[in-house]
Structure 1
Amino acid sequence: MAVVVSSRLHSYACCLLFIIISQASAQPSFVNHFCVSDEGRFAANSTYGTNLKTLLSNLTSNTQIDYGFYNLSYGENSDRVNGIGMCRGDVKPDECRSCINNSRVLLTQLCPNQKEAIGWYDKCMLRYSNRSIFGLMETSPLFYTLELVNATDVDQFNQVLENLLRNLTGIASASGDSHRKYAAGNASAPNIETIYSVVQCTPDLSQQDCNRCLVEAASRIENSGKISGRVATPSCNIRYENYSFYDQPSTTADAPAPSL
């Protein structure tokens, strides 16, 4: 009998462990995040903390917004909270709202009492602050990552990537509007991998600020010769891969092959 009980307990423990692992792996996680301590902290039961909870709960409540950009303020004076949520330009409205709502849960857990914080998923970004953050071009805090693997032909790859990012930057900044500043496309040349990329600014930026943000961001990754990279700031982000990672892009651009 003891053996049977032990076996059942073992089976239960294994099943429980499997469920825990499955649930944990199903939870989304940030690509990166920052808890910005420079703007101060708040107590859990403070007015600011209450206002933050209210803002994040209401951020995506406007279901008429179908273009993936949410901005909202709540509260008064020093207890006023400003929030921005933005999804990648190809993400559908329901998936966008889900991503941002998951973000608000995780970001407040990771940054439990900082007045300012920002986090990036693959498909959305969330940030909030006690200062005004609307219409400002900000490139800090930022992060960038690069794949360890080099392209087959580094020089040619770099040239094609530079052309592609330049074209997409022009489209996103010049053709975008107050709803969306986003472009996606791919480019290839003989003997190199096809490069797929998206670039995006928060649509509250001017054309000039969007262009400036993307140019500065691109400078951190475009000459690396790596087959994959991304850079993200509060105001804009860039990602490129050697495989297609986005759905139907809102606009496409094919970069010309470099002169060899």
Structure 2
Amino acid sequence: MNMNIILVFLSVLSFLISLPRAYGDPWYEGHVCKDGMNFNSNSTYQSNLKLLLSTLRSNATHGSRDKISDGFYNATAGQDLDKVSGLFLCRGDVRRETCQDCVNFATSDLPQRCPVQKGAVIWYRECLLHYSNYSFLSTVDYVPYLCLANAQDSPNRSFGKQVRNLMDEAVNQALSTPKMFGTAKEDYSDFPTLYGLAQCTQNLSPDQCRNCLGDAISQLVECCKVRQGGQLLYPSCITRYELYPFYNNKLIASPTPAPPSPGSVTSSKGGEEIK
């Protein structure tokens, strides 16, 4: 997949995203099939992958014993060379029903886009899904990544510095919350209001989250410094800034805890090893 900067005409999309999206598919941002390691049809690995996706889908629907896991879950299936690891992350400001719909869609959509690859990742505006044949659940994944840039030029030459200051504030907020999700807003007397968002997958430690978001912001500022908005999406963390409000403040202020769920959960942040 071409990893060059994708220019998105947000002058049109900014209107579209303001419309209610209670129905329909999640907002697709991009995906990557990890080449080099493929599996055979009807193989043990494929069976384990199907089991993993079913587990992720089930935990998006039924929640977890730990309210921290609301909107995030990781699991593994199989052993040795046929072991597959995976996770989903829903953006911290989406409703639980939206999260469920996104994960349900992703667990069907990504295997169709990457039908034989052992590893793949897909990003939607509402959630991301990542699985692989190597164990990544205790590490930060910087590749593959997407950089999505607004087609409109930034208002002034100091815009990059203002974006970095904004995103640093969002990171500090993310590191202070269980969901590792933060937003920021900066008002200027002679400049449009800036809005920013930063989030990590909850399998990361605070230091790993800080490193992931720090690297993402550096990449974001570099690829989008002359643009009015942009996103840098890693498998382990996501960042975004815009000149318009794009996140849901009400849901950020009043998150809904996940209900109790039966089953064997072995991770304090939502995780399971499927034998």
TM bracket (short chain): 0.7 to 0.9
**Residue equivalent to 1:208:** 207
Higher normalized contact order (CA 8 Å, seq sep 6+, divided by chain length) = 2
Please name the residue that 1:50 is paired with: 47
Separation of aligned partners in 1, 2:126 and 2:177: 19
Q: Deviations over 1:219-253 (max 9, x none)?
A: 122251311100011111101111111112637xx
Q: Please name the residue that 2:160 is paired with.
A: 158
Give the distance between the partners of 2:190 and 2:52, measured in 1 at CA: 51
Any idea what the Cα deviations from partners look like across 1:86-128, whole Å, max 9, x if unmatched?
0001112221111011011111111001000000001100010
Distance 2:113 2:124 in 1: 14
Alignment-mate amino acid for residue 31 of structure 1: E
Q: The residue matched to 2:192 in structure 1 has which SS?
A: coil
TM superposition shift of 1:202:
0.8
Deviations 1:57-100 (A, max 9, x none): 12132323362001111112211111100000111222111101
Report the Cα distance in structure 1 between the residues aligned to 2:58 and 2:24, rounded to whole angstroms. Answer: 24
Change (3 A) 1:29 1:43: farther
CA contact (8 A) 1:160 1:189 kept: no
C-alpha distance in structure 2 between counterparts of 1:149 and 1:64, whole Å: 40
**Shift of residue 158 of structure 1?**
2.6
1:167 alignment counterpart:
169
Note the C-alpha offset of 1:171: 2.0
Q: In the alignment, is the contact (CA less than 8 A) between 1:150 and 1:226 conserved in 2?
A: yes
Aligned-partner Cα distance in 1 for 2:195–2:139:
28
Over 3 Å counting, the alpha-carbon distance change for 1:230 and 1:182 in structure 2 is same
Q: What TM-score comes out, normalization by structure 1 length?
A: 0.80
2:38 alignment partner, one of 38, 41, 52: 41
AA matched with 2:174: A
Offset of residue 154 of structure 1: 3.2
- Aligned match of 1:217: 216
Contact kept? 2:99, 2:126, Cα under 8 Å: yes
In structure 1, list runs of 5 or more residues that go unmatched. 1-24, 252-260
1:246 maps to: 247
Structure number with greater Rg is 1
- Counterpart residue type for residue 196 of structure 2: S
**Worse overlay, 94-103 or 109-118:** 94-103
Q: Is this contact kept in 2: 1:151–1:193, CA < 8 A?
A: no
- State the AA in 2 paired with 1:229: G
Kept after mapping to 2: 8 A contact 1:160/1:188: no
Work out whether residues 60 and 70 of structure 1, in 8 Å CA contact, stay in contact via their aligned partners in 2.
no
* SS of alignment partner, residue 60 of structure 1: helix
Mapped contact 2:25–2:102 kept (Cα < 8 A): no
Task: Tell me the SS of whatever aligns to 2:122.
Answer: strand
Instruction: Give 1:1-260 correspondences, 5 Å limit.
Output: 26-28=24-26, 30-38=28-36, 40-62=37-59, 63-65=62-64, 67-155=70-158, 157-173=159-175, 175-177=176-178, 180-222=179-221, 224-248=225-249, 250=252
Q: What's 1:7 paired with?
A: none
Q: Normalised by the size of structure 2, how large is the TM-score?
A: 0.76
In structure 2, how many angstroms separate the alpha carbons of the residues matched to 1:28 and 1:92?
13
* Equivalent residue letter for 2:110: L
Does the CA contact (< 8 Å) of 1:151 and 1:192 recur in 2? no
Using the alignment, how far apart are the partners of 2:226 and 2:35 within structure 1?
A: 35
Shift of residue 29, structure 1, vs aligned partner: 5.4
Matched position secondary structure for 1:98:
helix
